């Protein structure tokens, strides 16, 4: 059984170098491009963790609170990617926003 065509080459579908299968930007590669412009060594090892931020005010506040909290105990935070958004409804009103995100940071050299 033959598979149906997915629309041609990667370039024709708008998926290029530095993107995932769905065309999402590879944030680590994007960061390396920024570092090259700034003259910083681009060869980093990134650690990626998952955080869940919450807020009663907004999705943006949930993201900001998670990043601010992570910054207190992690060094070299570089990027984040929102994986999932959700919330809690109470009496027909949004009571709480919840944002799950991946956060990347560079690993330090061994001492």
Given a cut of 50, whether residue 13 has pLDDT beyond it is no
Which of the four pLDDT bands, split at 50, 70 and 90, describes residue 7?
low
- Mean predicted confidence (pLDDT) in 19-32: 54
Q: Is the Cβ–Cβ distance between 52 and 20 less than 8 Å? A: no
- pLDDT at residue 15, as a whole number: 45
State the Cα–Cα distance between residues 77 and 105, nearest whole angstrom. 4
As a whole number, mean pLDDT of residues 75-90 equals 94
What residue spans of 14-80 are helical by DSSP H? 27-38, 59-73
pLDDT of residue 91: 96
Instruction: Report d(CA 99, CA 111) in Å as an integer.
Output: 35
Taking the CA of residue 99 as centre, how many other CA atoms within 13 Å lie in the half-sphere pointing to its CB?
A: 21
**Paired tokens of 110:** 């061994």
Residue 102 confidence (pLDDT) above 80:
yes
14 or 47, greater pLDDT: 47
């Amino acid at each position: 059984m033959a598979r149906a065509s997915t629309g041609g080459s990667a370039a024709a579908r708008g998926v290029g170098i530095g993107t995932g299968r769905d065309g999402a930007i590879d944030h680590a590669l994007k960061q390396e491009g920024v570092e090259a412009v700034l003259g910083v060594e681009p060869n980093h090892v990134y650690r990626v963790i998952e955080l869940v931020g919450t807020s009663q005010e907004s999705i943006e506040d949930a993201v900001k609170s998670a990043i601010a909290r992570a910054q207190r105990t992690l060094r070299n935070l570089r990027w984040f990617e929102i994986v999932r958004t959700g919330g809690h409804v109470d009496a027909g009103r949004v009571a709480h926003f919840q944002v799950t995100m991946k956060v990347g940071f560079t690993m330090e050299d061994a001492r």
